[in-house]
Amino acid sequence: MNDQEILLEDALLLVEQNFYFLHMGEFFGKLSKTEDFTNRSLFVVKKYENEKAYYFNAELIHELLLNAQKSAKDEISLFEYFVEFNAFRGICMAMVESLRFESSFKTYMQELFHEQYENFFDIVSFVRNVLSHNIHSEIRLSQKDFDGTLKRIRRMGRDSKVFFNFAYALSLPELGAPNEAYSFTCKIDFESLEEGMPFLEILSMWDLMMLSELCFNLVMTYRMQEEKKV
């Protein structure tokens, strides 16, 4: 493989790994709410080369476990919050980077999405930007989160009201969707976005979860298609 092919493979692998991480993190998040780990040894040490070691703070671990126990079943704990948003960011970042290359993967995506391809790219770029730049506890928008995408839309002469709809049964029947209506739908009016707007009022946690799943499924089906060529 040449350098570009190696970078593309790394990006696709990151999409997959972050989705795995999201699932494992959610499992441990649920477990931390239902099981009491505070009475167990919280001593954690990581050993490195040259006999170096890093000792993790057991008191911090204890605090996070207490936070999880105090969280209601349907309430997000601090641990789950960081698991989810780090996974969302990692998946969208890797997807954006993978589509920067002129490759068989980009061609696959363009042929699958047709006129919706640019809309999909705008959405994952927006999520990547927000979650990479954000330092606000409520995840509020900054100008740089959407300004570049809006300028790109204007430059291409496209509608700023970006709409994307992907029906699994219609476009990826080989995956065996849970039902005929299973889909991901998203609409963002980039012209109406303003600094300070709450991100989760534009895309909900459900939207982010479904977008992440779609990215993972796209990588998986692309790999399936490539295997058939061999």
With a cut of 70, say whether residue 21 has pLDDT above it. Answer: yes
The per-residue pLDDT for range 4-19, each reduced to its tens digit, is: 889 999 999 999 999 9
- Kindly report the pTM of this predicted structure: 0.93
- Output the pLDDT for position 174: 86
**The amino acid at 156:** M
- Give the per-residue pLDDT at 11: 96
Mean of the per-residue pLDDT values for the chain? Answer: 93
State phi, psi for 34 to the nearest 5 degrees: -105, -20
- Indicate if the pLDDT at residue 61 is higher than 80: yes
Burial class (CB in 10 A: 0-12, 13-18, 19+), 125: buried
Rounded to whole angstroms, the Cα distance separating 164 from 150 reads 16
Q: For residues 26 and 79, is the Cβ–Cβ distance under 8 A?
A: no
Q: Is the predicted pLDDT of residue 1 greater than 80, yes or no?
A: no
| pLDDT at site 230 | 67
